[in-house]
Chains A and B, each alone.
Chain A
Amino acid sequence: MSTAERQAELAVPAAAERRRKKGPGISDTWWRHAIALIALVFALFPVAYIVSAAFNGDNSLSGSSLIPRKVTLDNFRSLFSGQQNTTGHATFQNAHYLSWFANSMIVAAATAILTVLLGALAAYAFSRFRFKGRRMGMLSLLLIQMFPQLLAVVAIYLIVLNVGDVFHFMGLNTLTAVILVYLGGALGVNTWLMKGFFDTIPAELDESARVDGATPAQVFWGVVLPLAAPVLAVIGLLSFVFTLNEFVIASVILETQHRFTLPVGLWQFIDQKYSEHWGPFAAGVLIAAVPAALLFAFLQRYIVQGLTQGAVKG
């Protein structure tokens, strides 16, 4: 899902829960429930299935079933222990799974934090200063991002390859290179969203701070950023999830097992030994889904808070 789509989704308010008058009788709504239930089965069976497989004692794909025959934590243990699990099956590539997870967290967190910082700086300039080329600058941000990095992946690969010849720390097979490349997309739609939010923060606040002798930089760090916390959080979380999902650039730059991120690692893992390691794989998927799912839950709450409170502290 693209960042843009996720953002559009946020625009849908939960205001749906209107007056809850006495519901219509079951006779004229049964078909609504029927459709909803069918949709629920379609939407949830893969999720239910993977949860069940993660706890199932039989860890092959053919042995899996919706209701586990034997509930066990072996699959999770095999992710974290270096040893064979009790059923004697070879383990999921345990050492590597942990590296993939750690790499993904490092890359996604670093990208998210820096994206927010770089985006906020630019958005502040666009929101608070009037300068030549301001409109042009904002427009060109949108136009430039029309050509997604995905399409330039060959060029990105060649650039990283050549830069790496000179600066090894940001060459192929380094997390640094992946993070730097992701930061190329830091200015774009995000900047517009932040600028829009900054515009709603009264300029009088800045001015009074300026009168008190604050520099523009102090106003930015001390006044605007704290007030914009909700939008910063939302954009940071979106960027985190988007980065977590990114496959193409990571797969091109990262070359060895211990440097892979989760998408690259899990993808080439199932390519090789899917059916025998279904159980540990399911456990790995479940754990990998946790950060994003938590953030998703957190994100919904934060938006509501941001919209309803909107208040100015201090």
Chain B
Amino acid sequence: MLKIVFLSLVNAAAIWAAVVLLDHHKWRAVVVLVVVTVLIDAIYLVKRWTLPLKFLIPGTVFLLAFQVIPVLYTVNVAFTNYSTGHILSSSEAIANIKENSLSVAANSASYSMTLMRDDKQHLVLALLDEDSGRTFIGTKDGLRPIPRDQVTISEGAITAAQGYSTLQANALGGLDQELSSYKVPIGGGKAIEPQGFDTAVVLEPTFRYDERENAFVRIKDGVVFKDNGRGSYVAPGGEEIEPGWKTYVGARNFGRIIHSSLIRGPFLKVFIWTVVFATSVVLISFALGLLLALTLNKPGLRFQRTYRSLLIIPFAVPAFLSLLVWQGLLNDDFGVVNRALHISIPWLFDPTWARISVILVSVWLGVPYFFLISLGALQSIPAELVEAARVDGAGALQVFRKVTLPLLLVAVAPLLIASFAFNFNNFGNVYLLTGGGPAMGDSPIAGATDILISYTYKIAFAAGKGQDYGLACAIAILIFIIVATISAVSFSRTKALENLA
């Protein structure tokens, strides 16, 4: 019963989606949709052997659509020049250049223009060539002459024309938008375009597209702009035509990280800071958490339970709230930390202090977690081992170093690695506290506290600085490789640790 409802919903949605897609001429998407829907139907209608699939399909569809495909697409984009100015496809870019390269011709004729509507209420231009006195009607389809005896001319402009109604001055107000995109094509790539409400001029293209050579020629001086293979038409002198188009550029984005000094410098700084940040947050949080756990793990200690439940309160508050609150607490003018301690440290505005603040706040967020982990691990260490060491004459410190810590590390090491990998990409702790700032002098994008992932985010989405999706995806892939390598190596090391213990 449930199955029937589910299947009818899926199929209804699929049919509707197919209609919409057909409407938008997305043929490939339609094919994929039909195949997927038929497969789903088959899986749920066939009796036996598809049984496990029936349970796996729903989650897998989302996994594929929003996890696997984004990952594959990330890899794809990393090898393109997808960025501001390189968003269109090649043919769209060519059409766009042709259309936008029109400019007022040097010795261009100018017309006196009157706006009119034809019998179908379409906007037309009644044009009077002031030099020759010839009259025309211009529409979006083209220009055609209109005999003098069908128009009335007064004060150098057409005031009425047979079959057309002249627009009155008060009707012109809402026409700005329509007029600014109004073009009367007159052949040879030229067009007549309104300039204001009573004049029109002839525009001619500045570029000519040479289809055989796939190049644009600037008409006035004959300079040839060739396809540079990276999504732009470029002149020998280096001049580029806007817009370019999206195309595959091989490993160029990765090459830029290594070779382009504009990117390499900030990238290296950000990378080093990311490692320092992740390492120190994990180690300090773990050390403090362990210290607390050791302190409180004393049988019979009073208030032990109270301490524990109070200490994990920061853990119960959603991290994004804590981070935003900390941003206020550390405010250098009004923040309570400076006022309470009677100091004036620029916590978030000085590069070094901002880094310290980010670590400090991350430690604040991380200690409760490691406190709980350590407490659990400590309590799972058999008391007999500690007793035995004591009996053999080991001091408290020795017992800790030789017995407790090694055993503890075996249990905690995988969690430390996981925590490192998590902090390596701990976007929130940086971005919600400092926004990656304060700015560093040598890069318009990377700030002093930016870690790789927030740097990537800014490259892709920072407003006003141009968006470079290709480069952002390339860095994202590097981040993945770095984290995966570090995790893999350290996991194999902990295996060794386990064998020792």
B-contacting residues of A (Cβ < 8 Å)?
A: 1-2, 4-5, 8-9, 11-13, 15-24, 29, 31-33, 35-36, 39-40, 42-44, 46-47, 49-50, 60-62, 64-66, 117-119, 121-122, 124-125, 129, 131, 134, 137, 141, 144-159, 165-167, 180-187, 191, 216-217, 220-221, 241, 244-245, 247-248, 252, 262-263, 266-267, 270-271, 274-275, 278, 281-282, 285, 288-289, 292-293, 296-297
- Which of A60, A61, A149 makes the CB contact (< 8 A) with B67? A149
Contact A288/B67 with A40-B310, A154-B476 known, Cβ cut-off 8 Å: no
CB-nearest residue of chain B relative to A2?
B422
Q: Which residues of A contact B326 (CB under 8 A)?
A: 46
A sample of 13 cross-chain residue pairs with beta-carbon separation below 8 angstroms, ordered by A number, consists of A36-B292, A40-B307, A44-B310, A44-B314, A152-B74, A159-B69, A180-B65, A245-B319, A247-B432, A252-B461, A270-B328, A289-B318, A292-B317
How many A-B residue pairs have C-beta atoms within 8 angstroms? Tell me: 293
Instruction: Report the Cα distance A217→B44, complex, angstroms.
Output: 11
CB-nearest residue of chain A relative to B472?
A154
Q: Is the CB of A61 within 8 A of B480?
A: no
Query: For chain B, what secondary structure do more than half of its interface residues adopt (helix, strand, loop), or is it mixed?
Result: helix
- Which of A1, A42, A147 makes the CB contact (< 8 A) with B319? A1
In this assembly, does B101 line the interface, its C-beta being within 8 Å of a C-beta of chain A? no
Q: Is the CB of A22 within 8 A of B317?
A: no
Q: Which residues of A contact B55 (CB under 8 A)?
A: 121-122, 124-125, 129, 216, 220
Q: Is the CB of B325 within 8 A of A43?
A: no
Instruction: Report the Cα distance A185→B71, complex, angstroms.
Output: 12
Q: Is the CB of A146 within 8 A of B484?
A: yes
Contact A245/B305 with A1-B369, A118-B58, A153-B457 known, Cβ cut-off 8 Å: no
A248 to chain B, nearest CB (A): 6
Q: Is the CB of B325 within 8 A of A46?
A: yes
Q: In residues 274-317 of chain B, which contact A (Cβ within 8 Å)? A: 288, 291-292, 295-305, 307-308, 310-311, 313-317
A-contacting residues of B (Cβ < 8 Å)?
A: 2-3, 17, 20-21, 24, 26, 29, 51-56, 58-60, 62-63, 65-71, 73-74, 76-77, 82, 288, 291-292, 295-305, 307-308, 310-311, 313-322, 324-329, 331, 333-336, 340, 364-365, 367-369, 372-373, 375-376, 379, 415, 418-419, 422, 425, 427-428, 431-432, 435, 453, 456-457, 460-461, 469, 472-473, 476-477, 479-480, 484
Q: Is the CB of A275 within 8 A of B331?
A: yes
Q: Which residues of A contact B53 (CB under 8 A)?
A: 125
- Which of A1, A66, A118, A154 makes the CB contact (< 8 A) with B62? A118
Supplied contacts A43-B368, A44-B314, A184-B62, 13 more A-B pairs, CB within 8 Å = A18-B299, A22-B300, A33-B303, A36-B295, A39-B367, A151-B476, A154-B460, A185-B67, A266-B324, A271-B435, A274-B328, A293-B316, A296-B315
